[in-house]
Structure 1
Amino acid sequence: MVKLASEQKCLLGEGPVWDARNQVICWIDILKGKVYELDPVTGFLKTITTNRVLGAISVCEDGHFVGAFQDGFGFIDRETGLVNIASDPERHLPGNRFNDGKCDPSGRFWAGTMSLTEAPSAGTVYMVGQGLSMSRKIEGTTISNGMAWSPDQRVFYFIDSTTRRVVSYNYDHSGAISDKRTVIEFSQRDGFPDGMTIDREGMLWIAHWDGWQVSRWDPETGKKLLSVSLPVSKVTSCTFGGENLQDLYITTARKDLSAEELNKQPLAGSLFVWKNSGYKGMPAFEYKK
């Protein structure tokens, strides 16, 4: 079912994004500050080194990347690799970094911060709009993680990993969110919910940190529908890619694994894919500058 897509081993692989314009799967190594672009047809792998801790990326309308770095929001030139930091809402909090993020249906970039020591409630989710206008959306988060918008664009889903929950909010195109409610709860044996994506049927796909799997859930009932096993424990995120968005790409990590664990999980940190999964994802939204 699941196969190796790239042997490039990340310390903390995260944030997969399918770039439909270029037909490549992009993902990052947060701690090494690297962006990878893989052409699944040719197997060509391009690496961009930012020399910064990098929590999330999205593709911009101009084809380059917007990124959430430890030192703020910025843009990555895909040709030169140059980084231009545009704004840092947490300049006064040097112990924080950005962790995960995505663009919303209106082309704004959402990303959340967390403490480098994972201190409770130290993070905030920000929304960056056109002209780098910025607003705080969710406060008091610990490990800001998965985000997704429903196919009808009326619901925003969000994960703060330490809560072991997925919550939903009513969402409108102004970026306003309201009426927070819990829709999914993880058991301790499932590990922690990490990155997340959504399919065309409105079902959520969630990566399990310390859980050896990606799972599919119905947010209306809170029930787990499917489990996709992986040969590694630290599964970090997933997204659909391929010409028809039918391939599920999955990022993983090696961070905090002992030598003994790495010996048992030699593929930890690799990118995996479930080709022709039988499900189809939603196109990634692009950032409007």
Structure 2
Amino acid sequence: MGVSMQKMEASMEYQHDATLGEGPVWDEREGRLYWVDILSGTLFVYDPVTNRNKAHDLGEHLGAVGLRREGGLVVALQSGFAFYDPAERKITPIADPEADRPGNRFNDGKCDPSGRFWAGTMSYELEEGAGSLYCLNRGLEVAVRLRGVTISNGMAWDEDRFFFIDTPTRQVMAFAYDQESGTVASPEILRTVDEGEGYPDGMTIDREGALWIALYDGYKVIRIDPVSGETLFEVHLPVPQVTSCTFGGASFRELYITTAREHMSEEEIQRWPLSGSLFKASVPFGGSPAARFGG
């Protein structure tokens, strides 16, 4: 950590009590933020202009959401991949790669630059290595990209690398990534998060290629160098369970940050009452529009 490293505080954007707020995605066409509360099975559509947060109850645990090029959403539900039309509130199932594993659920997910939707699974019992990372391609076939994952979390891509977090390992991994085929290879550890810093969770990437990582039980989001892994910038929050982040706003300079309150005692909730809320920081870096699913 250099002497010149900058820090700033995030402000509360929308107060809520999400159990496990996660997976923020900015829709630049609508000027709205989609985010989820995994364990209540709720999809939120937040409008920063009106400060309204519309809730869609999807009826089952909801791991992640992605935008579609033709409009509407692709989602990773406990029952597998599906399309969701928010206007009609209609779910259309696609495929369930783990129909034989009722003890698992989808966790985090994101679209890659080539228009595929990736999402990983984990076991409710946090059984080590029980999850896998799947890729739903544009033809709606599902491929396994990684096996033996415990808590599948943050994902990001640049031209030829795929970044991935399996939270309990505390590692941010970098893989060689083939845009054409969507395959990953040659894993390397980019950064191991120290024990006192919390656990690496959700992740996004900025225009300069630096990675932004939410630190669960770490009260912050860190921006790290994509080559050295060192911390370049920090955004601090008044709650411990920081889960994910994404860039939004008209110029993609607003960092939206989700948080959680799972496993918290009443005493802890009194101490950190804003846990589960949506936060925002106007950062001196810009992001890019989210990739959209091409199927």
Q: TM-score scaled by structure 1?
A: 0.97
Amino acid at match of 1:266: P
Match of 2:211 in 1: 204
Match of 1:40 in 2: 48
Compute the displacement of 1:86 (Å): 1.5
Match of 1:271 in 2: 278
Conservation of the 8 A alpha-carbon contact between 2:16 and 2:274: no
Q: Is it true that 1:116 corresponds to 2:124 in the alignment?
A: yes
Compute the displacement of 1:84 (Å): 1.8
Q: Is it true that 1:125 corresponds to 2:139 in the alignment?
A: no
Q: Is it true that 1:216 corresponds to 2:227 in the alignment?
A: no
CA distances 1:122-174 after superposition (whole Å, capped 9, x unpaired): 00000001221111001100000000012xx2111000001000001111121
Matches within 5 A, 1:56-135: 56-135=64-143
Within the candidate set 220, 223, 232, 1:225 is matched to: 232
Amino acid at match of 2:258: T
Amino acid at match of 2:99: R
Amino acid at match of 2:170: R
Amino acid at match of 1:159: I
CA distances 1:236-285 after superposition (whole Å, capped 9, x unpaired): 0000000110000000001011111000000000000012x111012200
> Hey, what's the Cα distance between the residues in 2 that align with 1:148 and 1:282?
12
Conservation of the 8 A alpha-carbon contact between 1:66 and 1:76: yes
Matches within 5 A, 1:166-185: 166-173=172-179, 174-185=181-192
Report the secondary structure of 1:131's partner residue: coil
Conservation of the 8 A alpha-carbon contact between 2:95 and 2:142: no
> Hey, what's the Cα distance between the residues in 2 that align with 1:45 and 1:261?
25
Conservation of the 8 A alpha-carbon contact between 1:184 and 1:219: no
Report the secondary structure of 2:23's partner residue: strand
> Hey, what's the Cα distance between the residues in 2 that align with 1:234 and 1:279?
23
Report the secondary structure of 2:100's partner residue: coil
Compute the displacement of 1:51 (Å): 0.8
Match of 2:291 in 1: 285
Conservation of the 8 A alpha-carbon contact between 1:50 and 1:82: no
CA distances 1:97-138 after superposition (whole Å, capped 9, x unpaired): 000010001100000000011100000000001221111001
Q: Is it true that 1:243 corresponds to 2:250 in the alignment?
A: yes
Give the % identical residues. 47
> Hey, what's the Cα distance between the residues in 2 that align with 1:210 and 1:2?
16
Compute the displacement of 1:194 (Å): 0.2
Compute the displacement of 1:80 (Å): 2.3
> Hey, what's the Cα distance between the residues in 2 that align with 1:82 and 1:3?
34
> Hey, what's the Cα distance between the residues in 2 that align with 1:221 and 1:61?
34
RMSD: 0.9
CA distances 1:2-36 after superposition (whole Å, capped 9, x unpaired): 11111122110000000011010110000111111
Conservation of the 8 A alpha-carbon contact between 1:107 and 1:129: yes
Match of 1:16 in 2: 24
